[in-house]
């Protein structure tokens, strides 16, 4: 049987599920989501949900459920050879005087299994079923003429777009022969989810331990369940099978506490970490690669799943606008432009951090064990304690709220008109604080009460011409100038103006939108 559809999403991990949830917001898009597994993962895997991902869940009205089921982590402590060298108080990143520019200034721990269940339940509630127990077994590429996707049940799909959300071993990437350049680290890592009595950390803290035998971490999951992680320096992945007793021994040695007992391990796994990414997130006209299919890196900073969720968020509205709102195909090229740079920089940063914390090279080990604790205790800690700006900078980097797309080609055609104060966010920056209704562009008009005729004419023009895709928000704010900021459906700034020049706006917008037909 051969079927056609607008979009096929291969893989219902967090990335594929987020893409499906976002596409489901657009009623006229026909898509299918296929996964070879019978259900969502049962493993806790990605534990950290960062602020930017919480904003995405807020757009789907899932954030309250996520916050209710997760654990808020308030502090991170770093121990070197038994002594605490640094404590980062995460509650200090926000103060009344200097609030953070997100509604969710938290580090939330939520098991990946729960995140996936939340997203899949959302799909069910909106009448969409993940097609499970079906594997994609082949992809036939016909160049510009399209592609065929062969399923394990014999069905052949001829979709307009193929979204590969099929994880690190992506069949799409393999069939298209796309290079996944990078390397595999020689050190093995272990992960174990267990009950811990007398945990050295509370349920609101995460702890890292650096010893000559390796690095370990203890992170709260919920109640007395904790995630234990660590490096293992000998052998390779295939040779190592850790038992609960092995994990217990590692915990005793690395925490230097023999009174900690672990039990009821629900998951113990030993794996090698990699850092790799593809070089094109859009291949030909039809293929998009997202999430682990496009980039993988070490677990430093808990960024993997969060990055996949944002890939999906970035692509979904562009696909929807091309399919239903006469947007130009080149809008889809900006998916690569914007997300490739994020992935490339993330893979490089996490590589540097992971290489430093895990390298067995004697000089790096010496520096890590004997110099780093002093740098942290006597330099970093005092600066962190006194500098709210530094605390907020670090939080924004970690939480992915600092990501900008300023250099995206979408802004090549003059997305700024007029003079702005230097603190005004730029096109490509995330619009802070507000979570707008999904699917629409939002024009936020900052104007004094007595709007000039020019502003009124501009607003009337946008209302008349773009009513199907743009919502207008007229804010009566005590600002020094009249200005307007256009926000994309994914919450990033598309355009800003202080001169309300209709021709300029039209020239910019028509680069991506064939506006006569809107
Ligand atoms: C131990 C561990 C800890 C981690 N901790 C964190 C963390 O704290 N924070 C973080 O952000 N990330 C973390 N990660 C990474 C995170 O789990 C991944 O980045 C995330 O799962 C990627 O999601 P994905 O949807 O892109 O891919 P996956 O989760 O791998 O999903 C791919 C899906 O595609 C399906 N599939 C594959 N091939 C086919 C096929 N041929 N046909 C049909 N279906 C197919 C699979 O069944 C699967 O459901 C961790 C990972 C591990 C292993």
Pocket perturbation via mutation, ligand 1, pick of 9, 33, 46, 170 by most ligand atoms within 8 A of CB = 46
- pLDDT for res 240: 76
Ligand 1 test: best mutation among 43, 49, 112, most atoms within 8 Å of CB? Answer: 112
Q: What is the CA radius of gyration of the chain?
A: 24
- Give the residue ranges of DSSP H helices in 79-168: 112-125
Nearest CA to ligand 1 atom 44: 35
pLDDT at res. 518: 43
The CB of 171 under 6 Å from ligand 1? The reply is yes
Q: What is the pTM of this model?
A: 0.94
Cα–Cα distance measured from residue 116 to residue 69, given in angstroms and rounded to the nearest whole number: 13
- Residue 250 has a pLDDT of 92
- Cα of 310 from ligand 1 centre, angstroms: 14
- Please name the residues in contact with 51: beta carbons below 8 A apart, sequence gap of 6 or more: 100, 102, 104, 105, 106, 395, 399, 400, 401
β-partners of residue 277 are 181, 295
Q: Which helix (H) or strand (E) holds 221?
A: strand 214-222
CATH class of 409-510: alpha beta
Q: Is 346 in the pocket of ligand 1 (CB under 6 A)?
A: no
Question: Alpha-carbon distance 513 to 413, whole Å?
Answer: 13
Interval between CA 118 and ligand 1 midpoint (Å):
16
**Cβ atoms of 424 and 403 closer than 8 Å:** no
Predicted local confidence at residue 517, as pLDDT: 43
Q: Is the CB of 301 under 6 A from ligand 1?
A: no
Measured between alpha carbons, how far is 445 from 473 in angstroms, rounded to an integer? 6
For ligand 1, is residue 15 a contact (CB within 6 Å)? yes
Rounded CA-CA distance 440/508 in Å is 17
Residue 79's pLDDT is what? 94
Q: Is 353 buried (19+), middle (13-18) or exposed (0-12) by CB count in 10 A?
A: middle
For β-strands 2-10 and 31-35, DSSP reports them as parallel
Please give the distance, rounded to the nearest whole angstrom, from the Cα atom of residue 359 to the centre of ligand 1: 26
Where exactly are the structural domains of the chain?
Answer: 7-44+51-61+111-179+279-351, 182-275, 409-510
Question: Could you tell which of 17, 18, 35, 108 is best to mutate to test the pocket of ligand 1, judged by most ligand atoms within 8 Å of the CB?
Answer: 35
Q: What is the pLDDT of residue 448?
A: 67
Which ligand 1 atom sits nearest the alpha carbon of residue 189? 1
Atom of ligand 1 nearest to the CA of 47: 8
**Helix, strand, coil abundance in the chain, percent, nearest 5:** 35, 30, 35
User: Residue 61 has which token pair?
Assistant: 């009205």
CATH topology of domain 7-44+51-61+111-179+279-351: FAD/NAD(P)-binding domain (3.50.50)
Phi and psi angles of residue 456, each rounded to the nearest 5 degrees, phi first: -60, -45
Cβ–ligand 1 contact at 193 (below 6 Å): no
Strands 225-232 and 287-289: unpaired
Beta bridge partners of 231: 189
Using CA atoms, how far apart are residues 482 and 447, in angstroms rounded to an integer?
5
Q: Is 115 in the pocket of ligand 1 (CB under 6 A)?
A: no
What is the torsion angle, in degrees rounded to the nearest 10, for the CA atoms of residue 225, residue 230, residue 232 and residue 238? 50
- pLDDT averaged per 10 residues in sequence order, the chain, 518 residues: 88 98 95 97 93 95 96 93 92 74 90 97 97 97 92 96 97 96 87 86 88 91 91 66 91 90 92 91 96 93 94 98 89 96 91 84 90 93 90 90 92 88 90 88 81 87 90 73 89 94 91 63
Which one, of 477, 475, 503, 499, lies nearest residue 487 by Cα? 475
In order of 60, 62, 122, the CA distances from 65 in angstroms are 11, 6, 11
Establish whether domains 7-44+51-61+111-179+279-351 and 409-510 are of one fold.
no
Q: Which residues, 6+ apart, have CB-to-CB distance to 48 below 8 Å?
A: 107, 108, 109, 302, 306
CA separation for the pair 403, 250 (Å, rounded): 37
The answer to whether the CB of 46 is under 6 A from ligand 1 is yes
How far is the C-alpha of 192 from the C-alpha of 187, rounded, in Å? Answer: 17
Q: Where are the alpha helices (DSSP H) in 376-441?
A: 381-386, 388-398
What is the enclosing helix (H) or strand (E) of 496? Answer: strand 493-497
Write down the pLDDT at residue 183.
86
CB of 304 closer than 8 Å to CB of 292: yes
CA dihedral 341, 343, 345, 346 (to 10 degrees): 160
User: What fold does the segment set 182-275 form as a domain?
Assistant: D-Amino Acid Oxidase; Chain A, domain 2 (3.30.9)
């Amino acid at each position: 049987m051969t079927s056609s559809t607008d979009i096929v999403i291969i893989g219902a991990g967090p990335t594929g599920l987020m893409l499906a949830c976002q596409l489901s917001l657009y009623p006229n898009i026909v898509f299918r989501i296929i996964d070879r597994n019978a259900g969502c993962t049962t493993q806790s895997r990605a534990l950290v949900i960062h602020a930017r991902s919480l904003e995405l869940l807020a757009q789907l009205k899932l954030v309250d459920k996520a916050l209710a089921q997760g654990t808020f982590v308030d502090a991170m402590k770093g121990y070197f050879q038994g002594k605490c060298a640094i404590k980062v108080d995460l509650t200090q990143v926000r103060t009344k005087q200097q609030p953070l520019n997100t509604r969710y200034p938290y580090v939330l721990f939520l098991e990946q299994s729960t995140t996936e269940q939340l997203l899949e339940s959302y799909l069910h509630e909106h009448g969409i079923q993940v097609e499970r127990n079906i594997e994609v077994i082949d992809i036939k590429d016909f160049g510009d003429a399209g592609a065929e996707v062969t399923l394990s049940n014999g069905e052949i799909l001829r979709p307009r777009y193929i979204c590969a959300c099929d994880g690190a071993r992506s069949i799409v990437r393999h069939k298209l022969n796309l290079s996944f350049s990078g390397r595999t680290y020689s050190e093995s890592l272990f992960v174990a989810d267990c009950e811990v009595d007398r945990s050295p950390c509370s349920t609101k803290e995460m702890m890292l331990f650096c010893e000559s035998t390796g690095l370990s971490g203890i992170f709260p999951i919920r109640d007395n369940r904790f995630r234990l992680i660590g490096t293992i320096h000998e052998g390779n992945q295939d040779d190592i099978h850790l038992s609960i007793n092995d994990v217990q021994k590692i915990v005793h040695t690395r925490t230097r506490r023999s009174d900690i007992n672990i039990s009821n391990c629900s998951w113990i796994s030993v794996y090698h970490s990699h850092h790799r990414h593809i070089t094109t997130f859009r291949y030909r006209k039809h293929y998009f690669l997202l999430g682990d299919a496009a980039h993988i890196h070490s677990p430093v900073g808990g960024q993997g799943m969060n990055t996949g969720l944002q890939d999906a968020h970035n692509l979904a509205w562009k696909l929807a606008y091309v399919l239903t709102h006469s947007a130009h195909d080149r809008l889809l090229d900006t998916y690569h432009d914007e997300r490739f740079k994020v992935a490339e920089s993330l893979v490089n940063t996490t590589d540097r951090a992971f290489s430093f914390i895990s390298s067995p090279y004697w000089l790096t080990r010496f520096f890590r064990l004997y110099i780093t604790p002093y740098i942290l205790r006597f330099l970093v800690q005092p600066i962190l304690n006194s500098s709210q700006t530094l605390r907020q900078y670090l939080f924004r980097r970690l939480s992915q709220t600092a990501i900008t797309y300023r250099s995206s080609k979408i802004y090549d055609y003059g997305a700024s008109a007029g003079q702005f104060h230097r603190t005004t966010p730029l096109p490509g920056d995330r619009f802070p604080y507000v979570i707008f209704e999904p699917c629409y562009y939002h024009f936020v008009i900052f104007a004094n009460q007595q709007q000039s005729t020019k502003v009124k004419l501009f607003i009337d023009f946008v209302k008349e011409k773009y009513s199907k895709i743009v919502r207008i928000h007229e804010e009566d704010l005590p600002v020094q100038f009249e200005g307007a900021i256009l926000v994309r459906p994914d919450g990033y700034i598309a355009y800003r103006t202080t001169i309300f020049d209709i021709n300029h706006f039209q020239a910019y917008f028509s680069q991506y939108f064939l506006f006569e037909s809107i």
